[in-house]
Amino acid sequence: MKTPILSLALVCLTWFGIAAAQSFAGAYEQYNEALAAGDDKATLRHARTAFEIAETDSADLETLAVLGQNWLLAALWLEPGQVLEIGPKALNLAEQGFGASGYNQEEIAAALAFAIAKDTPREPECEALVKALSDLRAAGDMTPYSIKLHAESISLMLRHNRGDEAYEAATGMAHVVEKAPSADPDLLSYSTMFRIAALVQMDRTHVIGRPKLSFHNRLNDAHVLADHMMSLFPAQTDLDSFSTTAGEARAWHAFVLALGSTYGVELSKDHVFEGRKPLPIRKESAPGKAVGPFFASQATTGHCEVEWKRQNLTYPRAAQRQGILGGMLIGYDLTKDGRVSRAEVLGEVPHNRFAPQILKQVTRWRADPDSLGPEECRTNRTHWIHFTFHTPTAFSMRSPTP
């Protein structure tokens, strides 16, 4: 993330503004100290004080622009309401060409649009935020700041049932990442997770009233995205180095399968994504096999098969009562006598809804020792599960977020 530079601001001071610089310099120094110490609240307090002193003392506009950006960025994640105070001033200065060495006009405008939408998350404000994010992407590469702003904005839209706007922003983010010379699979995967969540949520409040075909197409689009997301990662063969994002990708795929099973939607391999050419898929994903009234469960393909003496799973009661469906990927080893060891969650959607109860059950699994084979068959095993209901009325349609 870009950081403000004191010397740059001071160089730009005119002789007329030296006295003003002396008055705000103390607050600015305290701001830098708090920033270096990671004290967010103190950083925000001193950033605001430095700007207000400089503004009162009629500091030059370049200095005000730098100090205003400091305040805006310090407030953005901690106190977005303060962005409504400083944002218009910072944007006005940026439009005049001041502070360009820090943040550009599009970055400041997007921050202000985010704060406005967070304060009033209605359709016009969310649409304005989508437009500001689009302008931000068009202005340059995705920086850590713009990536975080996209993620926070999409999460905000999802929390307030703005699935259409969230999907547009997440899709724009994904397209920019895909075009990068060396696309980051983790970043591309997270933007895809946002797209899946938005596709699901588009129908959250209207699924009963809309034609089933509409939801069918959107869920198939989500399935194509989930397949594509899993293809971004090489085979994960070691639990100790298992990619966190790869585990989350598998869990999101299981979540889509749970939705399809609950709604009776056939997830077709021949589905044309968004009515256009399919996304490239470098490997197939195996469909789950129904093993109980609420579960589908599948050991990861390509691993040694074992015979199980006991492999029971029951739906976690709290999640069942609340109508929560989802997916997860677990990893484990088997001892020579067939017991499960080192069981861990590699991915779960939604987070912290199934893991504690499922891990307790997994540790009670028992494999037939005679079927285990060599050590490589017993270690670094994975198993994925999707939690589903037989009828849509049995659960509440809630879209998780990455």
pLDDT tens-digit series, residues 305-314: 888 898 888 8
* Residues 33-88: tens digit of each pLDDT: 999 999 999 999 999 999 999 999 888 999 999 999 999 999 999 999 999 999 99
CA distance to 223, 232, 240, 277, 279, per residue, from 270 (Å)? 11, 20, 36, 10, 11
pLDDT, residue 61, reads 95
Supply the DSSP symbol for 241.
G
298: closest CA among 250, 236, 340, 244?
250
6-212 and 213-402, same CATH topology:
no
What's 213-402's CATH class? alpha beta
Q: Which long-range contacts (CB under 8 A, 24 or more apart) does 243-247 make?
A: 243/186, 244/346, 244/347, 245/185, 245/186, 245/189, 245/190, 246/189, 246/346, 246/347, 247/329, 247/345, 247/346, 247/347
Q: Using the structure block, give the residue that is written with the tokens 């590699």.
A: 346
Q: Please provide the average confidence, as pLDDT, over all residues in the chain.
A: 82
Q: Domain spans of the chain? A: 6-212, 213-402
Q: Which residue would you say has higher pLDDT here, 12 or 113?
A: 113
Class (C level, CATH) for 6-212: mainly alpha
> Looking at residue 333, what is its pLDDT?
92
Whether 61 and 95 have beta carbons less than 8 Å apart is answered as no
Q: Is the pTM of this model over 0.95?
A: no
Quote the CA–CA distance of 353 and 325 in Å, as a whole number: 9
The pLDDT of residue 297 is 54
pLDDT digits (tens, 9 = 90+) for 209-253: 333 446 778 888 899 999 989 888 888 888 999 999 999 999 999
Per-residue pLDDT band for 276 (boundaries 50, 70, 90) equals low
Q: Which two tokens stand for residue 335?
A: 């001892």
**CA–CA separation, 42 and 49 (whole Å):** 11
